[in-house]
Amino acid sequence: MNTRFYNAKILLTREDKSFEILEGELWVKGNTICYIGDGRNVPLEVVADLSAQKAAAETNAQEAAGNFAARELNWDREIDAEGNLIMPGFKNAHTHSAMTFLRSSADDLPLQEWLYEQVFPREAQLQEEDSYWLTALANLEYLTSGITAQFDMYFFQDMVAKACVDMGFRVVQTSGLNNFGGTLEELEEKYLRLNDYDELSSYILGFHAEYTTSKELMEGVAALVQKYKAPMFVHNSETKLETDECRQRYGVSPTQLFDTMGMYDFGGGGYHCVWFDEADMDIFAKHGLTAVTNPGSNAKLASGIAPVDEMRKRGINLAIGTDGPASNNCLDMFKEMFLVTSLAKLRAMDASVMDANEVLYMATAGGAKGMGLLDCDCLAVGKKADLIMIDLQQPNMQPIRNITKNLVYSGSKQNVKMTMINGKILYENQKFHVNLDTAEIYQRANEIVARIK
């Protein structure tokens, strides 16, 4: 599938984590971006590659590079962006997608009661096929929010991978291994197999959390990290209770415990990272780890506000996740971006902290870095075509004074006009193109909810 976007504003990510906007064209050949520019002086090899059955020898280099008509090339589709913004897709760097069946069923409870009395008993009733349809439902919502990749931790991971691949959605998974389920052998087997399942599927070592996992199991995870010299992710210091109890058990914080066990020797990071102290942040900085903040979930469960500005000052890579639809309910990256910056300002009592551009970087390239998706972290020639189109012709994006600030402070899902993953348009003008029937996805999800009490 060869696609040409023209008459577009294109959001480019600089090496210093800032942004610039280019007005022009973006071309996609197959699943890869092959050209970004003003449509003139296109490299000869790009023109020749896209020529409709025309031999490059028939046209001299000057004509091919400057005087050709782009519309005459071999396009499957040409899209007039009409002055709208093309930008990298958002990366949802922490979620439990199939928890869509728990949306609005266990609200307004503190985390421990929510988890042990509401979530765990219902999760025990899940069947393997359920994860397929419940993940598919979450993927539809991700697409409407401009999310092009998810970092998932949940049950029946083969079904999660299959649902994503069937729909054309990019997924990174990690294990929820804990005392209640999973084995080290299964973790290793999935790490090897699901990393080789499909180009849209990858897998990172991990486990659920310190407070749900025995020291023996954690030592086993650490051994796999050392064996494969691989990164590791885990829920980390989400609540004060979790962090205090870890100190009571081991005399150190979760981060310090994981570090002494060698779990962070090869990278990775943690989800939530709310109750971090100076030593925890130093460890993350030293190992080049990623802290994934989940402000919507943490606010709803009253878990606290992560010290993202302090982490930023230490050069820690930061990413954003929605968490699951049971603790957040809404899988919306626009809401999360606004919460990241506004809660950081409130925590510091300083309106200048966490500039909107820094938050936009977290939601795109920062998440991609943590998820190991360096081939689709930004818009550039040779990168995978994971991109979205933002409708600027909406009241909340006008006047067009500062587009990146508008995205964070006033943008919403209503502005997502199109979502493309791996060169395929999966959502456009409020319609899905995902190889699954959306009505069946909704029906299956409601049947699952009716069965599980």
pLDDT the model gives residue 248: 98
How sure is the predictor about 106, in pLDDT bands with cuts at 50, 70 and 90? confident
**Long-range CB pairs of 244-247, under 8 A, 24+ apart, other chains included:** 245/211, 246/210, 246/211
Peptide bond into 399 cis (omega under 30): yes
What integer pLDDT is reported at residue 49 of this predicted model? 85
Specify the higher pLDDT residue, 284 or 73. Answer: 284
Position 379 scores a pLDDT of: 98
- Distance between CA atoms of residues 54 and 4, nearest Å: 18
Q: What integer pLDDT is reported at residue 74 of this predicted model?
A: 86
- The pLDDT value recorded for residue 234 is 98
> What average pLDDT score do residues 305-319 get?
98
Q: Is the pLDDT of residue 66 over 50?
A: no
Domain spans, the chain: 2-87+378-432, 90-371
With 80 as the cut, is the pLDDT of residue 57 above it? Answer: no
Range in 116-125, 195-204, 333-342 with the lowest mean pLDDT = 116-125
Cα–Cα nearest to 243, from 197, 277, 202: 277
Domain at 2-87+378-432: CATH architecture? Roll (2.30)
Q: How far apart are CA 44 and CA 65, in angstroms?
A: 5
Q: Return the percentage of the chain with pLDDT > 70, whole number.
A: 96
pLDDT category at 62 given cuts 50, 70, 90 is: very low
CB 178 within 8 A of CB 155: no
Would you place residue 305 in the very low, low, confident or very high pLDDT band (cuts 50, 70, 90)?
very high
The residue type at 121: P
- Please give the average per-residue pLDDT across 262-275, as a whole number: 98
Global pTM value: 0.95
Residue 340: partners with Cβ closer than 8 Å, 6 or more residues away: 293, 295, 308, 320, 354, 359, 362
Is residue 287 within 8 Å of residue 329, measured between CB atoms? no
Please give the full DSSP string across 57-97, using - where no structure is assigned: GGS-HHIIIII--GGGB--SEEEE-TTPEEEEPEEEEEE-G
pLDDT (tens digit per residue) in 113-149: 887 888 889 999 999 999 999 999 999 999 999 999 9
* DSSP secondary structure, 250-284, as one string: HSS-HHHHHHHTTTTTT-EEEEE--S--HHHHHHH
Question: pLDDT (tens digit, 9 = 90+) per residue, 279-303?
Answer: 999 999 999 999 999 999 999 999 9
* 368-418 tens-digit pLDDT: 999 999 999 999 999 999 999 999 999 999 999 999 999 999 999 999 999
Fold for the domain defined by 90-371:
TIM Barrel (3.20.20)
pLDDT confidence band for 68 (50 / 70 / 90): low
Instruction: Give pLDDT, residue 65.
Output: 46
